[in-house]
Structure 1
Amino acid sequence: MKFLVIVQDLRVSGTSEGIVSRSFLAKLRIAYPDSIIDVVYLKQYASEDRLDLLPVNSINEYVLDLKTPFFVKFINRVYWRLFHVSLKERYIHKQYAKVIAKIDYTIYDHVFIRSSGINHETILAAYNLPILRKANVIFHDPYPLAWYVGSKSSLSNLELFRLKRMIEVAAQAKTCSSSAQYMSHDLQHLYASKKKFYTLAHQFEASVFDLSDKSQMLNKTKKVSISYHGALMFGRNAENLLLAYESLIKENSIYEEQTEFILRLKGDGIKKLKERFKNISNIQILDIINFSNSSNEQIHESDIVIILENGPLYCNILVGKAPFLAAYGKPILCISPEKSELRKIITDERCIANIHDVKEIKDKLKILVDNRMVSNEKFQPFGDYFSDINFKKQLDKILSS
Structure 2
Amino acid sequence: MDLLHPGSHRAAGLVDDHALVAAMLDVEVAWFDALAKVGVASRQQAELVAVTAEQWRPAIDQLVVDAEAAGNPVVALVAGLRAAVPDPAAAALVHRGLTSQDVLDTALMLLARAALARIRDNLCTLARDLASLVRAHSNTIMAGRTLTQYAVPITFGLKAAHWLAGVLGALELVRNSADRLPAQCGGAAGTLSLAGELTESPLILARAFADALELRDPGAPWHTTRTPITDIGHCLVTTCDALGVIASDTVQLGRPEIGELSEGVVVGRGGSSTMPHKRNPVLGVLVRNAALQAPLLGAQLHLAAAQAVDERPDGAWHSEWNALRTLLELTVTASSQARELIAGLEVHLDVMAQRATAAAEALLAERGSEDRDPATYLGSSVEFADRILDRFDRIPGEGRK
The TM-score normalised by the length of structure 1 is 0.20
Tell me the TM-score normalised to structure 2 length: 0.20
Structure having the larger proportion of residues in helix: 2
Q: Using CA pairs under 8 Å that are at least 6 residues apart, name the structure with larger relative contact order, 1 or 2.
A: 2
Larger Rg belongs to: 2
